[in-house]
Structure 1
Amino acid sequence: MIIPIWEKMNLTIEEAAQYSNISSKTLRRFINECTPDFILKIGTKTLIKRKVFEKFLERTDAI
Protein backbone atom coordinates (compact mmCIF):
# COMPACT_ATOMS: atom_id res chain seq x y z
CA MET A 1 0.00 0.00 0.00
CA ILE A 2 1.37 3.41 -0.97
CA ILE A 3 0.58 6.26 1.43
CA PRO A 4 0.88 9.83 0.12
CA ILE A 5 3.56 11.94 1.85
CA TRP A 6 1.00 14.43 3.19
CA GLU A 7 -0.81 11.58 5.01
CA LYS A 8 2.26 9.99 6.61
CA MET A 9 2.97 10.58 10.28
CA ASN A 10 6.76 10.33 9.84
CA LEU A 11 8.90 11.00 6.79
CA THR A 12 12.34 9.89 5.73
CA ILE A 13 14.86 12.69 5.25
CA GLU A 14 14.48 12.32 1.48
CA GLU A 15 10.67 12.58 1.72
CA ALA A 16 10.90 15.59 4.05
CA ALA A 17 13.33 17.26 1.65
CA GLN A 18 10.99 16.69 -1.26
CA TYR A 19 7.96 17.80 0.78
CA SER A 20 9.61 21.04 1.96
CA ASN A 21 11.71 21.82 -1.14
CA ILE A 22 14.87 21.81 1.02
CA SER A 23 17.76 19.68 -0.21
CA SER A 24 18.35 16.46 1.72
CA LYS A 25 21.99 17.55 2.22
CA THR A 26 20.88 20.81 3.89
CA LEU A 27 18.29 18.99 5.98
CA ARG A 28 20.82 16.37 7.17
CA ARG A 29 23.37 19.07 8.04
CA PHE A 30 20.75 21.04 10.00
CA ILE A 31 19.64 17.90 11.90
CA ASN A 32 23.25 17.01 12.78
CA GLU A 33 24.10 20.54 13.95
CA CYS A 34 20.95 21.49 15.84
CA THR A 35 19.13 18.31 16.99
CA PRO A 36 15.65 19.79 16.35
CA ASP A 37 12.50 18.51 18.07
CA PHE A 38 11.01 17.18 14.82
CA ILE A 39 13.39 14.21 14.53
CA LEU A 40 12.67 10.66 15.60
CA LYS A 41 15.62 8.27 15.92
CA ILE A 42 14.98 4.55 15.47
CA GLY A 43 18.33 2.84 15.88
CA THR A 44 20.48 4.42 13.20
CA LYS A 45 17.48 5.57 11.15
CA THR A 46 16.35 9.19 11.38
CA LEU A 47 12.74 10.06 10.64
CA ILE A 48 11.01 13.44 10.55
CA LYS A 49 7.79 13.99 12.50
CA ARG A 50 5.78 15.59 9.70
CA LYS A 51 3.37 17.75 11.73
CA VAL A 52 6.12 19.06 14.03
CA PHE A 53 8.30 19.70 10.97
CA GLU A 54 5.49 21.68 9.31
CA LYS A 55 5.09 23.86 12.42
CA PHE A 56 8.86 24.37 12.55
CA LEU A 57 8.91 25.53 8.93
CA GLU A 58 6.02 27.94 9.53
CA ARG A 59 7.91 29.76 12.29
CA THR A 60 11.40 29.63 10.73
CA ASP A 61 12.86 32.28 8.44
CA ALA A 62 16.15 30.56 7.54
CA ILE A 63 17.93 27.22 7.84
Structure 2
Amino acid sequence: MTNKKNITPIWESPLLNVEEASDYFRIGMNKIRELTDGKNNPYVLWIGTKRMIKRAKLEEYLMECYSA
Protein backbone atom coordinates (compact mmCIF):
# COMPACT_ATOMS: atom_id res chain seq x y z
CA MET A 1 0.00 0.00 0.00
CA THR A 2 1.38 3.42 -0.97
CA ASN A 3 1.15 6.38 1.41
CA LYS A 4 -0.02 9.45 -0.53
CA LYS A 5 -0.17 12.91 0.99
CA ASN A 6 -3.10 15.22 0.39
CA ILE A 7 -1.46 18.13 -1.37
CA THR A 8 -3.48 21.26 -2.03
CA PRO A 9 -2.87 22.75 -5.48
CA ILE A 10 -1.05 26.09 -5.30
CA TRP A 11 -3.99 27.95 -6.90
CA GLU A 12 -6.31 26.74 -4.10
CA SER A 13 -3.95 27.30 -1.18
CA PRO A 14 -4.84 30.35 0.93
CA LEU A 15 -1.23 30.84 2.10
CA LEU A 16 1.93 30.66 0.02
CA ASN A 17 5.57 30.85 1.02
CA VAL A 18 7.84 33.27 -0.89
CA GLU A 19 8.96 30.65 -3.40
CA GLU A 20 5.41 29.47 -4.11
CA ALA A 21 4.19 33.07 -4.47
CA SER A 22 7.02 33.78 -6.88
CA ASP A 23 6.02 30.78 -9.02
CA TYR A 24 2.30 31.53 -8.82
CA PHE A 25 2.48 35.25 -9.65
CA ARG A 26 5.53 34.91 -11.93
CA ILE A 27 7.33 37.63 -9.99
CA GLY A 28 10.87 37.32 -8.69
CA MET A 29 11.40 36.28 -5.08
CA ASN A 30 13.14 39.57 -4.27
CA LYS A 31 10.13 41.53 -5.58
CA ILE A 32 7.74 39.33 -3.55
CA ARG A 33 9.81 40.05 -0.44
CA GLU A 34 9.79 43.78 -1.26
CA LEU A 35 5.99 43.79 -1.72
CA THR A 36 5.46 41.91 1.53
CA ASP A 37 7.94 43.68 3.83
CA GLY A 38 6.79 45.18 7.11
CA LYS A 39 5.00 43.89 10.18
CA ASN A 40 1.60 45.43 9.38
CA ASN A 41 1.44 44.33 5.76
CA PRO A 42 -2.10 43.16 4.85
CA TYR A 43 -0.76 40.51 2.42
CA VAL A 44 1.37 38.65 4.98
CA LEU A 45 0.79 36.36 7.92
CA TRP A 46 3.95 36.14 10.00
CA ILE A 47 4.40 32.80 11.76
CA GLY A 48 7.38 33.58 13.95
CA THR A 49 9.93 34.70 11.38
CA LYS A 50 8.28 32.78 8.54
CA ARG A 51 6.50 34.95 5.97
CA MET A 52 3.32 33.42 4.55
CA ILE A 53 1.66 35.38 1.75
CA LYS A 54 -2.12 35.64 1.67
CA ARG A 55 -2.67 34.58 -1.94
CA ALA A 56 -6.12 36.14 -2.49
CA LYS A 57 -5.19 39.49 -0.89
CA LEU A 58 -1.98 39.86 -2.91
CA GLU A 59 -3.76 38.72 -6.07
CA GLU A 60 -6.45 41.38 -5.50
CA TYR A 61 -3.80 44.06 -4.95
CA LEU A 62 -1.88 43.09 -8.09
CA MET A 63 -5.05 43.09 -10.20
CA GLU A 64 -5.85 46.63 -9.02
CA CYS A 65 -2.33 47.81 -9.83
CA TYR A 66 -2.16 46.41 -13.32
CA SER A 67 -5.77 46.56 -14.54
CA ALA A 68 -6.56 49.10 -17.23
The TM tier, using the shorter chain, reads 0.7 to 0.9
Could you tell me the percent identity over the aligned residues?
37
Structure 1 regions of 5+ residues with no counterpart?
none
Query: What is the root-mean-square deviation of aligned Cα atoms in Å?
Result: 1.5
Aligned-pair CA distance for 1:60: 1.4
Instruction: State whether structure 2 residue 34 is matched by structure 1 residue 45.
Output: no
Aligned-pair CA distance for 1:31: 2.2
TM-score w.r.t. the length of structure 1 is 0.82
Report what 2:13 is aligned to.
Answer: 8
Runs of at least 4 residues of structure 1 off by over 2 A?
Answer: 29-33
Aligned-pair CA distance for 1:38: 0.6
Structure 2 regions of 5+ residues with no counterpart?
1-5
Aligned-pair CA distance for 1:17: 0.7
User: Between Structure 1 and Structure 2, whose CA radius of gyration is higher?
Assistant: 2
Aligned-pair CA distance for 1:2: 1.3
Considering fraction of residues, name the structure with more helix. 1
Query: Which secondary structure state, in structure 1, belongs to the residue aligned with residue 36 of structure 2?
Result: helix
Aligned-pair CA distance for 1:29: 2.5
TM-score w.r.t. the length of structure 2 is 0.77
